[in-house]
Amino acid sequence: MKIFIGQAVTGEDREKLKMECSEIIKVLKEMGHEPLLIIDYPEEVRCLPQRERLANHCFKNIDECDAFLVIMRNGKKSEGMLMEIGHILDTDKKIILAINKNIRNTYLREIADQTIEFEDFEDLKNKLKEIK
């Protein structure tokens, strides 16, 4: 299954995020999935206005996937991720929510096709193997 990975990026430690994402991608590939992730836009996309970046790059990549994996490490809201989720709701694509079990203030559990609760990053990596 081709899986787009969505997560909060703005305000996060990008280097730590990149390291964790490389491990997440490795786990998903081992399970036979094709993960797709955007942490940094390519140079030719970075100069576009935000609306065009989303429509012409991010949403286009989401549309080419079978599922959308939402990773919520903390309770901070991410406008970009919420726009991606709004976009995916208009499709028939599967929504997989991987959420820290301590997060309570969200409706995402209700819209997800599959929810994976995790305690820490190591637990997240192990539980990603449950993706169907």
Structural domains of the chain, count: 1
Q: Please determine, for residue 51, whether its predicted confidence score (pLDDT) is greater than 80.
A: no
What value does the mean pLDDT take over residues 88-103?
A: 94
- Domain extent for 57: 2-130
Buried b (16+ CB within 10 A) or exposed e, 22-37: eebbebbeeeebebbb
What value does the mean pLDDT take over residues 89-111?
A: 92
CATH number of the domain that residue 25 is part of: 3.40.50.450
Determine the pLDDT at residue 14. Answer: 84
Q: What beta strand segments (E) does 1-132 contain?
A: 2-7, 34-37, 67-72, 94-100, 114-118
pLDDT tens-digit series, residues 118-132:
999 999 999 999 998
Of 37-41, 84-88, 106-110, 118-122, least confident by mean pLDDT is: 37-41
Closest CA to 115 of 91, 93, 131: 131
What average pLDDT does the structure give for the chain?
89
How far apart (Å, rounded) are the C-alpha atoms in residues 24 and 49? Answer: 29
